[in-house]
Amino acid sequence: SDLQKQEERGELLQPLIFILLVLCSVLLYFTVSLMDPGFVKSEEEADKSEEQSMVTPQVPSNIKMRRCGYCMVKQPMRAKHCQLCQHCVRRYDHHCPWIENCVGEKNHPLFIVYLTVQLVVLLWGCHVAWSGLYFEQSWDWLQHNIFLLTSFLLIVIFTIVVLLLLISHLYLISCNTTTWEFMSHHRISYLRHSELENPFDQGVILNLWRFFC
């Protein structure tokens, strides 16, 4: 049959890989959306305080953990209260409206994996949509291809957004800083009173290693 011939020629492999990538993207989306991003719990305060003091010796010793005015837990360094989630989040990066969850210490690496897979799917979708377009300067052509053309333009827009988001996150990770710290550097006590511009930066390779591994 035609299906067997296509399988023998390897023509079914690409659609199968594409479908698997889409399923992987959906699975990653729900995983990142539903998992704990690193909510601060009261029983973890003492342990986390000791860990932070060991990992970040460059931070001035006079900067102490403060108690959150919303949930009344002691915030470890680099934590921030998210009013949408109603929790303090360790190594808070930002609250992402796409996933309706915070991006923090626990789900940030998986969030980067999700963006990477999503970018591959979108680029592949761009290629598929572009290959189906045969441009002609006629009204009939536009009527018959308006849906495909609109889909292609939307995919291009989403691709650009995801690409810029992924690049910006990888840059911040390579500097060992977060979106919140980057945007609010002048308002954060442990950064404002530090002698170094970024006391957490340990070099690109070590920053990436600590983040992903």
Q: Cα(89)–Cα(35) distance, rounded to whole angstroms?
A: 12
- Based on C-alpha coordinates, what's the Rg of the chain? 23
68, 71, 85, 96: which one is catalytic?
Answer: 96
Mean pLDDT in residue range 92-99: 93
pLDDT for residue 197:
82
pLDDT for residue 124:
92
**Residue type for position 132:** G
Q: How confident is the model at residue 13 (pLDDT cuts 50, 70, 90)?
A: confident
Under DSSP, is residue 86 helix (H, G, I), strand (E, B) or coil?
Answer: coil
Give catalytic status of residue 96 as yes or no. Answer: yes
Q: How confident is the model at residue 31 (pLDDT cuts 50, 70, 90)?
A: very high
Taking CA 173 as the corner, what is the angle to CA 202 and CA 159, rounded to the nearest 5 degrees? Answer: 160
Residue with more model confidence, 66 or 191: 191
- Would you say 165 and 111 are in contact if contact means Cβ atoms under 8 Å apart? no
Domain residue spans of the chain:
39-52+64-101
pTM over 0.85: no
Specify the DSSP class assigned to residue 80.
E
Instruction: List the one residue out of 171, 179, 174 whose CA is nearest residue 93.
Output: 179
Among the listed ranges 8-17, 39-48, 162-171, 196-205, which one has the minimum average pLDDT value? 39-48
Q: Cα(141)–Cα(155) distance, rounded to whole angstroms?
A: 21
**Residue type for position 186:** H
Q: How confident is the model at residue 166 (pLDDT cuts 50, 70, 90)?
A: very high
pLDDT in tens, 111-130: 999 999 999 999 998 888 77
